[in-house]
Amino acid sequence: MTQGGFFDLDTPKDLFQKLQHDYHRVVAAPGDRYAAMDFIIVANHLCDWVERHGNRRVERCPLLTVCRELANNAKHFTRRQKEVKDMKVVGGAFQFGAFDSAAFDVGHLFIELSGEAERELGGEIGIEVLASRVVEFWQKDLGPKLL
């Protein structure tokens, strides 16, 4: 019987591997809202897993704040955000739900930023760039001994 987590995913390393899996989905199809939502929710919850498993606080930064605000908005439909101004879909010659996002241009997802996130990351960031930076953050934070 597991002590927590999800099936046999119960360590920060396990959840980081899930994050990497979702990252590849985001990069392959930057207009795929499902992959983006999965990535953001896992990125947000990885903080909790590291804190619980490692018995330490994760240093919050604008990158993680953006993930937390996006995840909370997805779960609670909140718009009380300091760092995320808006989310938008740009372009796309084909409708997302009707075409394979890996094969057809169904658009790109962008996050408009404000506050400290805007100062650090710019006024707007594509989901694939955000995802890349989040993966880099966790690689550095978790370190080679864990990965």
- Whether residue 60 lies inside any domain: the answer is yes
- Whether residue 93 lies inside any domain: the answer is no
- Whether residue 141 lies inside any domain: the answer is yes
The pTM for the full model equals 0.83
Full residue range of the structural domain in which residue 134 is found: 12-79+126-146
6-48 per-position pLDDT tens digit? 888 888 999 999 999 999 999 998 888 999 999 999 999 999 9
Confidence of residue 3 (pLDDT cuts 50, 70, 90): low
60-95 per-position pLDDT tens digit? 899 999 999 999 988 777 766 788 988 888 875 555
Check whether 102 has a pLDDT greater than 60. no
- Whether residue 85 lies inside any domain: the answer is no
Phi-psi region of 146 (alpha: psi -120 to 50; beta: other; left: phi over 0): alpha
Q: Is 90 helix (H, G, I), strand (E, B) or coil?
A: strand
- Whether residue 16 lies inside any domain: the answer is yes
The residues, any chain, with a CB within 8 Å of residue 45's CB and separated by 6 or more, are 15, 71
- Whether residue 53 lies inside any domain: the answer is yes
Query: How many domains is the chain built from?
Result: 1
Cα gap 7→67, rounded to integer Å: 24
- Whether residue 29 lies inside any domain: the answer is yes
- Whether residue 51 lies inside any domain: the answer is yes
